Amino acid sequence: MHHELKPWQQLSYDYLHREAWFNLRRDRVLKGNGEVMYPYYVLEYTHWASVFPVTTEGKVILLRQYRYGLGEWSIEVPGGIMDPHETNPADSARRELQEETGYSCAEIKQVAKIAPNPATANNWMYSFLATGCELTHDQDLDSNEELEVLLLSMGDVKQLLRDNKIIQALHTTTMFYALQALGDINI
């Protein structure tokens, strides 16, 4: 039997934990079918921006870093949280690119807006393609960052994707959308 789905409504909430970059909220919700669900946990994050940067020479700028939560080394694109004062995701992507790699871009184009985990998180990740990148600054890393900058050929990046060597799911999404925008893959 088919019934019309309805959005859920928040009836009440309280915060179990608050941090600078995330909050854990416990909600009481009215489901679309009329049932009340409690508790329903939501992670509140600021929005994120990630960028697939390509240099003027056609090299892709990636980062290698240790991810403590998983206990693994990870090859990723530059990116991070949008600062509280930032309202334009492209500005965040440019800032993250410059801070994490020292590179600035001539052009930047949004290629996707994705929900990192819509079941339990309330934020968006904005994915960008940056072209015409050139080294203009020294890295300006946050206290929790230790990053190695990698310059790879487009072929090497695609091989890393084929070999499942890029383990950060959100970053592979950015990479695939950027490659599609460049015409390097067809979906």
> Residue 187's pLDDT is what?
63
Question: What's the chain's length in residues?
Answer: 187
User: Are 101 and 139 in contact, with CB atoms under 8 Å apart?
Assistant: yes
How far, CA to CA in Å, does 93 sit from each of 105, 161, 171? 10, 22, 13
- Residues 11-54 have pLDDT tens digits of 999 999 999 889 999 999 999 999 999 999 999 999 999 999 99
Question: Rounded to an integer, what distance in angstroms lies between the CA atom of residue 167 and that of residue 161?
Answer: 9
Q: How many CA atoms lie within 13 A of 28 on its CB side?
A: 5
Average pLDDT, the chain: 95
171: confidence class by pLDDT, cuts 50, 70, 90: very high
Average pLDDT over residues 52-70: 97
Residue 105 vs residues 46, 90, 91: alpha-carbon distances, Å:
24, 11, 11
Confidence bin at 2 (pLDDT 50/70/90):
low
- Predicted local distance difference test score (pLDDT) of residue 1: 59
